[in-house]
């Protein structure tokens, strides 16, 4: 059975379960999306790595990465291979000089590990058929506009985004040094949402410098 490659589209608050998050995976070559409900800790672990934040002490998935690397084990891919009673089942494909092994894993943990090993995530057609969500016509049209860059609406949206970037944010009054210190403090105290906003302000300033 052919595997379908998935990309991480994003993470958002779950509309159905309080305190949970929705991890959205999408076909690399298609329009279907695979929404998976995950816990707050796992959502945080995925977001931290995607944002390239560095906690002062390793999180559980960072420890797994360090342990595997130390003993010459590489995670080559993650496969979401089964869906039963609302639960996705996944496995890690582990490769060492001696052998290749498959290890069962919760999907949320598997994705958090995949982003740390920079390895691909796959599933199968039967799972996409059963649980995949196809974009509606409006969303599809917006994606086409973004990809072509020809529609006037897209140009307007891009201009609006640029204007939004130019607006002073909540951290605009702080110096670069203060922002760096605040970022480290937020990470140390595990306030990752705040850390993400501070990182956005730092990146925004870097973009302005490049334009100059």
- Does one domain contain both 121 and 32? yes
Give residue 71's pLDDT. 95
> Residue 139: inside a domain, yes or no?
no
> Residue 140: inside a domain, yes or no?
no
- Does one domain contain both 101 and 186? no
- Does one domain contain both 119 and 204? no
- Does one domain contain both 49 and 99? yes
| Phi, then psi, of 85 in degrees rounded to 5 | 50, 40
> Residue 201: inside a domain, yes or no?
yes
Per-residue b or e along 139-176, where b marks 16 or more CB atoms closer than 10 Å to that residue's CB: eeebeebeeeeeeeebeeeeeeeeeeeeeeeebeeeee
Is residue 108 classed exposed, middle or buried when 0-12, 13-18 and 19+ CB atoms within 10 A define those classes?
Answer: buried
- Does one domain contain both 99 and 197? no
> Residue 76: inside a domain, yes or no?
yes
CA 161 → CA 89, 138, 148, 152, distances in Å?
39, 20, 17, 14
- Does one domain contain both 173 and 119? no
Give residue 120's pLDDT. 97
Per-residue b or e along 18-36, where b marks 16 or more CB atoms closer than 10 Å to that residue's CB: eeebbbbbbbeeeebbbbb
Give residue 164's pLDDT. 46
> Residue 154: inside a domain, yes or no?
no
Domain stop point among 90, 117, 134: 134
Spatial separation of the C-alpha atoms in residues 19 and 106, rounded to whole Å = 18
Per-residue b or e along 71-100, where b marks 16 or more CB atoms closer than 10 Å to that residue's CB: eebebebbbbbebeeeebbbbbbbeeeeee
- Does one domain contain both 127 and 195? no
> What is the extent of the structural domain holding 186?
168-211
> Residue 149: inside a domain, yes or no?
no
Give residue 3's pLDDT. 92
Segments in the chain below pLDDT 50: 137-141, 143-159, 161-167
Output the domain CATH number for residue 108.
3.10.690.10
Structural domain count, the chain: 2
- Does one domain contain both 96 and 175? no
Domain stop point among 134, 155, 184: 134
> Residue 16: inside a domain, yes or no?
yes
- pTM for this model (two decimals): 0.68
What DSSP line would sit under 50-81, residue for residue?
HTT---SS--HHHHHHHHHHHTT-EEEEEEEE
| Phi, then psi, of 52 in degrees rounded to 5 | 60, 35
């Amino acid at each position: 059975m052919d595997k379908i490659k998935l990309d991480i589209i994003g993470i958002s608050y779950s509309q159905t379960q309080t305190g949970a998050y929705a991890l959205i995976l999408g076909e690399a070559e298609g329009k279907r999306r695979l929404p998976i409900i995950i816990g707050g800790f796992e959502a945080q672990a995925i977001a931290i790595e995607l944002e390239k934040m560095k906690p002062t002490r390793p999180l559980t998935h960072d420890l797994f990465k360090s342990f595997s690397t130390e003993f010459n084990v590489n995670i080559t891919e993650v496969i979401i291979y089964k869906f039963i009673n609302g639960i996705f089942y996944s496995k890690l494909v582990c490769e060492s000089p001696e052998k290749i092994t498959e290890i069962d894993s919760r999907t949320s943990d598997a994705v958090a590990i995949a982003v740390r090993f920079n390895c691909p995530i796959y599933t199968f057609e039967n799972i996409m058929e059963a649980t995949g969500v196809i974009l509606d016509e409006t969303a599809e049209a917006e994606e086409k506009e973004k990809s072509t860059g020809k529609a006037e609406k897209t140009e307007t949206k891009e201009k609006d985004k640029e204007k939004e970037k130019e607006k002073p944010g909540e951290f605009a009054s702080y110096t670069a040094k203060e922002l760096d210190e605040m970022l480290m403090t937020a990470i140390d105290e595990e306030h990752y949402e705040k850390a993400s906003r501070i990182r956005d302000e730092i990146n925004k300033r870097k973009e302005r410098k490049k334009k100059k």
